[in-house]
Chains A and B, each alone.
Chain A
Amino acid sequence: MSQKLKAVIIGPGNIGTDLLMKMQRSEWIEPVWMVGIDPESEGLKRAREMGIKTCATGVDGLLPYVLEDDIRIAFDATSAYVHAENSRKLNALGVIMIDLTPAAVGPFCVPPVNLQDHARNLEMNVNMVTCGGQATIPMVAAVSRVQPVTYGEIIATVSSRSVGPGTRQNIDEFTRTTAGAVEKVGGAREGKAIIIINPAEPPLMMRDTIHCLTETEPDRDAITDSVQKMVQEVQKYVPGYRLVNGPVFDGNRVSIFMEVEGLGDFLPKYAGNLDIMTAAGLRTAEMFAEEAASGTITLPARG
């Protein structure tokens, strides 16, 4: 019997479609359903063409099929506003929810930092923070695992074309959620997040800058080594995650300059910000599947 876990994607937009394309290559997750709310949506049409079952009546339309099709994992790529309800309904049927909205109902998940813990605890809802968070928090954690970080600041610069209307209408949610996760997951005592949208043509690749202020003088060698190792960890699921400059040191300031190139699955390669979200979300689901297959965790029982 296949050990792949069957999954549903809610939200057939850019993130949902990119996720679907990545999932089709996964050894651990099998995409079965794509859920939307508009029968005419391009995303649902694309999913159908790729042989995926679709439903245009939201999560409610999917519920009767969850047990029948043995759906174990849901990816929510809708909005923070509807996420809580989606999660409640699917959790009740024993479906693990990977939240790609900024709702942050469940604990923040940044794979190389704390995914293993979440998987072992069988968290039924994990939140993937934000694209900026996925691109930068591993670096904050790489510094804070060497020595205490009193302040962590991240600046995410993304191309205008890669930022959808949801993020734009609620940009405060991006800065708040990311800053919170810089503290909770990154390990900085105080976190700050800044997002810049750049409309240059051709679109620029996602750039991320991480500044950490360490409590005591930074241990340059240990931090440099830790950062390089962490970059390799992220590269396992986002090959285009690259250290451009740094870490550079100036007093107690440690600065790291990253670039994120996507795989170019659904959106072009410059949209590394979308890629890092979908890749992190899929990596998270795969970890749950791996842990379930190895018997470390037991998924909710089904008759």
Chain B
Amino acid sequence: MTATTATSAPTWGSMARARIGVEIKEFTRSREQMVFIFFFPMMLLLLFGSVFGGEEISPGVTFAQYFLAGMVASGVFNTGFQSLAMSLAIDRDDDELKRIHGTPLPATAFFAAKVAYVLMVSVVQVAILIAIGVVLYDVSLPGDAAHWWTFAWVFLLGTAAATTLGIAMSSLLRNAKAGSAVITPIVLFLQFTSGVFLVYTQIPSFLQHVAEVFPLKWLAQGMRSVFLPESFEAAEARGSWEHPATAIVLALWIVVGLFLAVRTFRWTRHDDN
């Protein structure tokens, strides 16, 4: 119980682990975060599933199944981007980031803990969504390693892109109150244009081209390639899952996100310098 280990100086790893413990504890004790990250996507999935779910959008593929892949993608994206950016903005407003900056915790260990936290939370969130899809909407889990490999890299690249962009976004928000007014429209726009709430090929092509610039479209398409039958590939915008393009776009966004996060991150409020 007592912490009198005077013998060993803390290492980067031990500090990052200590911080991960804090992040997880704080998450499980924060009702708002739990509701937003776990129950909100669940609710949307059930709602859209029961309203439009039965409609076939392609032979053998219902909207519910299409929507499941989209919700998995947007769940990953929202956890890393929206909820992380907002929680950082709140912590900054509250001087919590300043307090953390005043401790010996290295900045990189702090960010690594955030990434680890986003990964862990996203895994649970995605598992819940997939379970609902399997039980209620006849989604069949991929049976071969190739599909799971696709799932793994799409999930990891998507999480990394969303997290680095979330950290970068947090510094652009002048304060947490204004934050949700800025970030919610961005997220909704992407969800409507990237093949989450609407079938991607049914939206006007100029909106498709706009969505193509951003990561959510590729994340959703990648998830469809995992959870929808092979036959659906022909129904995609370019008649292909476009895995190489997906990997490239997500990787580019990770680079952009990292660059912005490192360049713009602030520990203190905007009025505090």
> Are A and B associated in one complex?
no
Binding site for B on A (CB under 8 A): none
